[in-house]
Structure 1
Amino acid sequence: MSRIAARFRKLEAEGRKAFVAYVMAGDPDAATATEIVRGLPSAGVDVIELGIPFTDPMADGPTIQLAGQRALEGGMTLSATLDTVRALRRDDDETPVVLMGYYNPIYSRGVDRFLAEAVEAGVDGLIVVDLPPEEDEELCLPALAKDIDFIRLATPTTDRARLPVVLRNTSGFVYYVSITGITGAGEASAAKVAPEVARIKEGTALPVIVGFGIKTPEAARDIAAVADGCVVGSAIVDRIGRGDSVEDVLSYVRSLADGAHSA
């Protein structure tokens, strides 16, 4: 059983919702980012999403764009991103890690080489936002063959005709984007999210995790209550970007996790 499946099974047995945290590898620098990542599990994070810095992050808002720029200017690379995962795995062999980013760095490295290195490092899943289901042969199917989950995004504009295509080779969990547009925009509404989660669940037995627009413990609780859990990214990255200490960042993460777990 994969780490992702095992984590969701454990949460279900405990009657708890999942809290997923996103941070950018190498932000604000490699050492600090690694310290934050290693501290996330003890702050209550059930699944870690680790961003791969990229020069043209078209789906991301200013907060995550700036995080990627800081990381790249500090010399962060795909290899160093995998080193961050390896650092976590020295102490933690249970918390799932999902790499989130764009296809170009993976393509440049070579799919076979990347997947072999990702497996060795301890990566459990991938979210690659610019590879649609029509391109599953590029990375999705090779990743699944290596037992790396390939997680798809569904959005408010994913209609009933498109949804089965999105879900076809999805594994691990489904990431529902609660707001149209870029990351960090707007605020999620549980009332609007609930029927969309129900619609997705009609087509899959996978957990549905909701992200975008969650900034407070109360919002984490409310969104997790109508889904299988929630994701917070930009709000955490914003704290890192403004120079909060590692301890303060992790304290904020803990408050969000407590909110989600109270749903």
Structure 2
Amino acid sequence: MSADATAGAATIPDRALIGYLPIGFPDLETSIDAAIALVENGVGVLELGLPYSDPVMDGLAIQKATQAALQAGFRVRDVFAAVEAIRGRVEVPTLVMTYWNPVVQYGVDRFARDLRDAGGAGLITPDITPDAAADWIATSEQQDLARVFLAAPTSSDERLRETVRSSRGFVYAVSTMGITGARQDVDAAARTLVGRLRTAGATGPDTIPACVGIGISTPGQVAEVLGYADGAIVGSALVTALAEHGVSGLARTAAELAQGTDR
């Protein structure tokens, strides 16, 4: 992957380990400390989840964490406070993963400005497709923010080409159909999907990277994914570690997963 494959703050490192945590879990300050612990233990890109009342793609561990954040009083404005606090302490690309409705309710232009001003790199938007995202595409261009769309094994070749054309930062390749959650075996469909994205122009020199997520939970799986993709995205395994063992346990889990980037 070229170092110039993406723009500005959205540039991701080679062989990236991307770590997901929900903002506000178990509380706002701890979620900030947890995100910083990820970076200090080998995570190269942060994906911060905006808690939402109807997380249709998320597995049980993430659902429980986001519901706990909401019950603790999470508000959308907390996203920007968290991003600003994190970026004040570590220098890594920090993206927000959010369902689209909270952005619309907050105001697309306002959300983009506030995210940019906080030091955020962009958005990962799992429930909108490029053909329905004209407002976001225009706004993200104006604010110089990454826009990460998802590609699935069931996507048509034309949809993959459209996703590649419209994404900025990287393409999120969904390794298997269904909700998020750790799995013993990362679906072999991920390798096929990344190959199709290569054909569509998603990876290679001077082109946008493809990063694989959903189901990655071990250093071996990180290494396996990085054998054919530009990044490995881990969510549920990290959320579970934080829920069960606190920030110190999360740090140990992140360090173990980061070993997979060296293989």
How far did residue 190 of structure 1 move? 6.8
Alignment pair present for 1:246 and 2:243:
no
Partner residue in 2 for 1:112: 109
Runs of at least 5 residues in structure 1 that lack an aligned partner in the other structure? 12-16
- Counterpart-to-counterpart distance in 2, 1:177 and 1:187: 16
Partner residue in 1 for 2:144: 147
User: Is the Cα contact below 8 Å between 2:38 and 2:250 reproduced in 1?
Assistant: no
- Counterpart-to-counterpart distance in 2, 1:140 and 1:52: 20
2:96 match: secondary structure: strand
User: Is the Cα contact below 8 Å between 1:98 and 1:126 reproduced in 2?
Assistant: yes
- Counterpart-to-counterpart distance in 2, 1:23 and 1:57: 14
User: Is the Cα contact below 8 Å between 2:219 and 2:257 reproduced in 1?
Assistant: yes
- Counterpart-to-counterpart distance in 1, 2:9 and 2:139: 19
Runs of at least 5 residues in structure 2 that lack an aligned partner in the other structure? 1-6, 202-206
- Counterpart-to-counterpart distance in 1, 2:258 and 2:197: 24
Partner residue in 1 for 2:227: 225
How far did residue 194 of structure 1 move? 2.3
Q: TM-score, normalised by structure 2?
A: 0.91
Bigger mean CA offset, 189-198 vs 106-115: 189-198
Aligned pair count reads 252
Paired residue for 2:28, among 8, 18, 30?
A: 30
Write the letter of the residue equivalent to 2:262.
Answer: S
- Counterpart-to-counterpart distance in 1, 2:59 and 2:228: 25
Paired residue for 1:18, among 16, 19, 23?
A: 16
Bigger mean CA offset, 180-189 vs 161-170: 180-189
Deviations 1:15-74 (A, max 9, x none): xx1100000001111111111112221111110000000001111121111111011111
Alignment pair present for 1:209 and 2:211:
yes
Partner residue in 2 for 1:14: none
* C-alpha RMSD over aligned residues: 1.5
How far did residue 132 of structure 1 move? 1.5
How far did residue 196 of structure 1 move? 2.0
- Counterpart-to-counterpart distance in 2, 1:197 and 1:131: 20
- Counterpart-to-counterpart distance in 1, 2:255 and 2:105: 36
Q: TM-score, normalised by structure 1?
A: 0.91
% same residue: 35
Paired residue for 2:52, among 51, 54, 58?
A: 54
Change (3 A) 1:240 1:172: same
